[in-house]
Amino acid sequence: MKVFSKFKKIKNSIFNGKKVRHIGIDLGTANTIIYIKEEGIKIDEPSYISRNNKTERVDKIGELAKKIAGKEPKYIDIIRPLKNGVISNYEATLNMLEGFFEEIRDDAITNDSVLVCIPSGVTQVERRSVFNVVLDAGAKEVNLVEEPIAAAIGSGIDIFEPKAHLVVNVGAGTTEISFISSGGDSNSKSIRIAGDHFDQDIVEYVKDEYGIIIGKKTAETLKIKSNLSETDDEKFEIRGIDTITYLPKSVEIKVDVVNKAIIYKINLIIDSIKQALEEIAPEISADIYETGIYLSGGGARIKLLKKRIEEAFNLNVTVVEEPRHAVIKGLSIILDDFNKYTNLIISDHTEY
Ligand SMILES: Nc1ncnc2c1ncn2[C@@H]1O[C@H](COP(=O)(O)OP(=O)(O)OP(=O)(O)O)[C@@H](O)[C@H]1O
């Protein structure tokens, strides 16, 4: 209660007489998405930055930095500022956000109130780091909300309904397995297995099976293309280095190769969902029997994941609409009706 009243006071003083812009940020391991209230999504770019290591200057951010990743000149460092859903390089995250803020700068507005999501189960230091980096990047006020809550809201779930829902959000660095009911998160598990780990396994699998070394970006493209493919027979060309001759090489592989490469990690996700289901109260379990499992995040597009979950639990699995945008959609819904969700907000002044 003490925390809440403090939070209200701070909000009022900031809002006092000044025009405020309300912004939502999904600061992800793979992508950073920025939404401005009443305007829509303004930034949707890879969380990448390139920096000149001679001058220490930022070279490129977002899509442009990702494009040169793996083929950058020696004087350029490519940095992915977030790892496993949390900030792993503060300065690079700050530079990236400053760059994105510059792109959405509006000289008529001096106050940006920002709502950012964080994975559940992060440490206080990791959480504090998100507050600080957004403030340092220029925001006047920062609030946080846990990613599973935002994903659930953005998936179209009425989180205030006294009925439990199970949301599995598969991002690039983390998979969040969360039971949402009666206005909040009743149980959450965050595991560090997601899209990036699938890419790594694809790299290793094609190296072992086809004698070709490919980059992680090629592996990611292969994963995405194969999951967009309509048939299991479609073939994809991949290019890289021959493991014996070290010369450029190209091979054609089928969709099922990707599935074989990622099945081990898919099964680890299934094990974690199983464990989570075993740990919850019977009433929640009874609801899940009816509501099924919602899949969100970019990794929700992996067809094998949906299939394996259906097989393992015999539950209805819903891949939500535009799964990669579920979190930012949730943030936009919260920003539209902030008072309704205040109990779920972690404010800048929450005591640590
Ligand atoms: N069509 C697709 N098929 C398979 N995987 C996909 C597809 N589209 C995106 N992905 C994967 O989804 C992941 C990115 O998802 P998302 O943007 O939800 O993650 P994030 O929010 O950046 O990560 P995190 O929540 O872990 O910090 C990447 O690993 C990407 O390769």
Answer whether residue 189 is part of any domain. yes
In a domain, 299, yes or no: yes
Show Cβ contacts of residue 66 under 8 Å, excluding neighbours closer than 6 positions.
46, 48, 217
Is 313 in the same domain as 167? yes
Q: What is the CATH number for 206?
A: 3.90.640.10
* Pair (200, 220) in one structural domain: yes
The residues lining ligand 1, judged by C-beta closer than 6 Å to any ligand atom, are 26, 28-31, 85, 171-174, 194-196, 220, 223-224, 227-228, 297-299, 301-302, 324
Shared domain check, 33 and 109 = yes
Ligand 1 atom closest to the CA of 82, numbered from 1? 27
Asked whether residue 76 is assigned to any structural domain, the reply reads no
Facing residues of 116 across strands? Answer: 25, 144
Query: Could you tell me if the ipTM is greater than 0.90?
Result: yes
CA 244 to ligand 1 center in whole angstroms: 32
- Nearest Cα neighbor of 248 from 204, 218, 221 is 218
**How far is the C-alpha of 145 from the C-alpha of 156, rounded, in Å?**
17
Q: Are residues 211 and 314 in the same domain?
A: no
pLDDT averaged over 10-residue windows placed end to end, the chain, 352 residues = 38 58 97 97 98 96 97 96 96 98 88 94 93 95 95 96 96 96 86 97 97 96 91 89 97 92 98 96 95 97 96 96 98 96 84 44
CA 331, distance to chain mean position in Å, is 13
Task: Check: CB of residue 78 under 8 Å from CB of residue 103.
Answer: no
Cα 101 to averaged position of ligand 1 atoms, centre (Å): 23
Atom of ligand 1 nearest to the CA of 26: 21
The answer as to whether 130 is a domain residue is yes
Domain span holding position 285: 163-194+262-320
Would you say 65 and 49 are in contact if contact means Cβ atoms under 8 Å apart?
yes
Per the structure, how many domains does the chain have? Answer: 3
* Nearest partner of 328 among 78, 27, 97, 9, judged by Cα: 27
d(CA 45, ligand 1 centre) in Å: 12
Q: Are residues 139 and 279 in the same domain?
A: no
pLDDT given at position 15: 53
Nearest CA to ligand 1 atom 20: 28
pLDDT of residue 70: 92
pLDDT at 77: 97
Distance 330 CA to ligand 1 centre (A): 17
Q: Does residue 134 sit in the same domain as residue 215?
A: no
Is 221 known to sit in a ligand binding site? yes
92 appears as a binding residue in the annotation: no
Pair 244, 341 in one domain: no
Q: Are residues 135 and 176 in the same domain?
A: no
Residue 143 is assigned to a structural domain of this protein: yes
Query: Does 50 map to a domain?
Result: no
Q: Of all protein residues, whose CA lies closest to atom 21 belonging to ligand 1? A: 28
CB hemisphere CA count around 90 (13 angstroms): 11
Atom of ligand 1 nearest to the CA of 173: 26
> How would DSSP label each residue in 306-348?
HHHHHHHH---EEEPSSGGGHHHHHHHHHHHTGGGGGGG-EET
- Whether 158 maps to a domain, the answer reads no
Q: Do 249 and 274 lie in a common domain?
A: no
pLDDT of residue 349: 63
Q: Around Cβ 277, how many Cβ atoms within 10 Å?
A: 18
* Angstrom distances, CA of residue 138 to CA of 111, 142, 179: 9, 10, 34
- Domain of 91, CATH number, reads 3.30.420.40
266/249 same-domain check = no
| 27 and 89 housed in the same domain | yes
Asked if residue 79 belongs to a domain, the reply is no
Residues 133, 253 share a domain = no
Q: What per-residue confidence (pLDDT) applies to 183?
A: 87
Boundary residue ending a domain (260, 285, 303): 260
Q: What's the N-to-C CA distance of the chain in angstroms? A: 15
163 is in an annotated binding site: no
- The gap from C-alpha 146 to its chain's centroid, in whole angstroms, comes to 12
Residue that is last in its domain, among 231, 260, 289: 260
CB 124 within 8 A of CB 64: no
Find out whether 220 is annotated in a ligand binding site. Answer: yes
Dist. CA 349 → ligand 1 center (Å): 31
